[in-house]
Amino acid sequence: MGGPYLVDKFNASLGQKLRAARRQRAWSLGQVESRTLGEFKASVVGAYERGERAISVQRFVRLAGIYGVAASDLLPLVPSDDDLVIDLDALGAASSDDLVERYLAAIQLLRRDSSHFEIRRGDQAILGSLVQTVDPTATSDETR
Given a contact cutoff of 8 angstroms between Cβ atoms, the answer to whether 49 and 115 are in contact is no
Q: For residue range 16-66, list pLDDT tens digits in order.
A: 899 999 999 999 999 999 999 999 999 999 999 998 899 999 999 999 999
Domain map (residue ranges) of the chain:
8-74, 85-143
Given a contact cutoff of 8 angstroms between Cβ atoms, the answer to whether 25 and 67 are in contact is yes
Listing DSSP states for 70-102 in one string gives: -HHHHPPPPPPTT--EEEHHHHHHH---HHHHH
Give the model's confidence band at 90: pLDDT under 50 very low, under 70 low, under 90 confident, else very high. low
Class at the top of the CATH hierarchy for domain 8-74: mainly alpha
Give pLDDT, residue 68: 94
Supply the pTM of this predicted model: 0.53
CA distance 69 to 63: 9
